[in-house]
Chains A and B, each alone.
Chain A
Amino acid sequence: DQQVKQNSPSLSVQEGRISILNCDYTNSMFDYFLWYKKYPAEGPTFLISISSIKDKNEDGRFTVFLNKSAKHLSLHIVPSQPGDSAVYFCAASARSMYSGGGADGLTFGKGTHLIIQP
């Protein structure tokens, strides 16, 4: 069963407007959430993260919002630029009793392909 879900395989947004990418999760043990961006034929690159003790984290044009009660997070990109066209992955991590309280890896959603239209 998927623990991290990105229900929109693709999203098309006009340049200059706001892009909102959504992510839902089912595992209550997740305590960190991260967004990665991926261009074709490249590895994912880290964008922004948020701890479960916060409800918002902002970095330039990127803001992530976390709603713990709804087990939902979203990434806002304002304003959207052509270079933002990529696949965006939502990922989550949890403290593991097997690695001394550290994380034992990331659980990824399937990704959302964001297309910025000129």
Chain B
Amino acid sequence: NAGVTQTPKFQVLKTGQSMTLQCAQDMNHEYMSWYRQDPGMGLRLIHYSVGAGITDQGEVPNGYNVSRSTTEDFPLRLLSAAPSQTSVYFCASSYSISPGNEQFFGPGTRLTVL
């Protein structure tokens, strides 16, 4: 099992550009989510999905879109990148949405917006 994979590992964008951060998991997990981590901060929830075709907003959803067409994939789209979106992005998945369920995290994508 590869677990949770994220691509790319690093990305530099110019203000206004768009891009998609990829996330995939091979554990047949129902629940997937995206977090961002800024320096000196904990991880903050951007969007999450409780199953294919179902997504919802987290704490900091503005400027990001998600979709969940398959169980395995949960891409995060930046529509028009801004310097405030410079961050490290982590994708996570877990077997179910039950509180306390262990979430497995990917290695992260480090994004810089100039």
Contacts and interface: CB of A to CB of B under 8 A. Distances in A.
Chains A and B come from one and the same complex = yes
Nearest to A109: B42
A104 B58 contact: yes
Interface residues of A, number: 34
Interface stretch (A14-22, A75-83, A91-99): A91-99
11 contacts: A31-B99, A34-B102, A36-B105, A99-B50, A103-B100, A103-B101, A104-B48, A104-B56, A104-B58, A105-B59, A108-B44
A44 B48 contact: no
Interface stretch (B13-21, B66-74, B76-84, B90-98): B90-98
Interface of A: 4, 6, 9, 31-34, 36, 41-46, 49, 51, 89, 91, 93-95, 98-100, 102-111
Contacts of B85: none
Nearest to B54: A99
Given A43-B105, A105-B33, A105-B45, A98 B99 contact: no
A89 B42 CA distance: 7
A106 B41 contact: no
Nearest to B58: A105
Most buried by A among B42, B58, B104: B42
Chain B contact-residue range equals 20 to 34
Contact of A98 (B43, B44, B56): B56
Contacts of B90: 43-44
A49 B96 contact: no
B100 A110 contact: no
Contacts of A41: 107-108
B58 A110 contact: no
Top 7 nearest A-B pairs (CB, nearest first) are A102-B97, A32-B100, A108-B42, A43-B105, A105-B45, A103-B99, A93-B99
A89 B44 CA distance: 12
B75 interface: no
A51 B99 CA distance: 9
